[in-house]
Structures are given as structure tokens and as C-alpha cells.
């Protein structure tokens, strides 16, 4: 199943079948591959959301950087 949402200039594309999520929020974007547990964070606030585990991980790394959460409890702060 796939979901595409449009919020003004923001858009969200979700492909639950392939376990990949790509979100666009204005100039910020998040590309998520739930299968390989890799998250590309392009938020200004560096917030990566993992919907598979229903948790939010805040990266201590700089934005516009590819962040891989092999073990989210180690690489990211579990909020």
C-alpha cells in the first residue's frame, strides 16, 4: 500500500510495501529506509522519526547528513 499526501507546499510519500518513506516538508526532507534501518536526516532540527518502532530519535549529528541507525538506542537518543 502507498500513501501520498499534499499539505500546501509540503508533501508526504509513503511506501509501506517496500518499507521506505520519503517526506518533504518545505525545504526539509526525510528519506527513510526501514528495511536497512538507515535514515537520511535533512531536518533543520535533525529529528528522525522511526514509525516502525513508534519512537522518535533525535540525532546529535549535523543536519543534511546521512544518519544510519543500526542500533537506534546507541546512535540516537530514545525520547
Query: pLDDT tens, 11-44?
Result: 455 544 444 455 544 444 455 544 444 444 444 4
Question: pTM of this prediction?
Answer: 0.16
What integer pLDDT is reported at residue 11 of this predicted model?
47
3-state secondary structure of 7: strand
Domain boundaries, the chain: 2-62
Which pLDDT does position 31 carry in this prediction? 54
Cα separation, 22 vs 50, whole angstroms: 12
Chain centroid to CA 1: how far?
Answer: 18
- Residue whose C-alpha cell reads 508526504 in the numeric block: 12
15 sits in which H/E element:
strand 10-15
Provide, rounded to the nearest whole percent, the portion of the chain with pLDDT above 90.
Answer: 0
> Which cell numbers hold the place of 45?
532540527
Are 63 and 42 spatial neighbours (Cβ–Cβ below 8 Å)? yes
Amino acid at each position: 500500500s502507498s500513501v501520498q499526501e499534499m499539505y500546501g507546499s509540503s508533501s508526504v510519500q509513503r511506501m509501506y510495501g517496500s518499507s521506505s518513506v520519503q517526506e518533504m516538508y518545505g525545504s526539509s526532507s526525510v528519506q527513510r529506509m526501514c528495511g536497512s534501518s538507515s535514515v537520511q536526516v535533512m531536518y533543520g532540527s535533525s529529528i528522525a522519526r522511526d514509525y516502525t518502532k513508534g519512537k522518535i530519535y533525535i540525532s546529535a549529528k549535523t543536519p543534511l547528513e546521512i544518519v544510519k541507525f543500526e542500533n537506534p538506542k546507541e546512535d540516537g537518543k530514545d525520547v
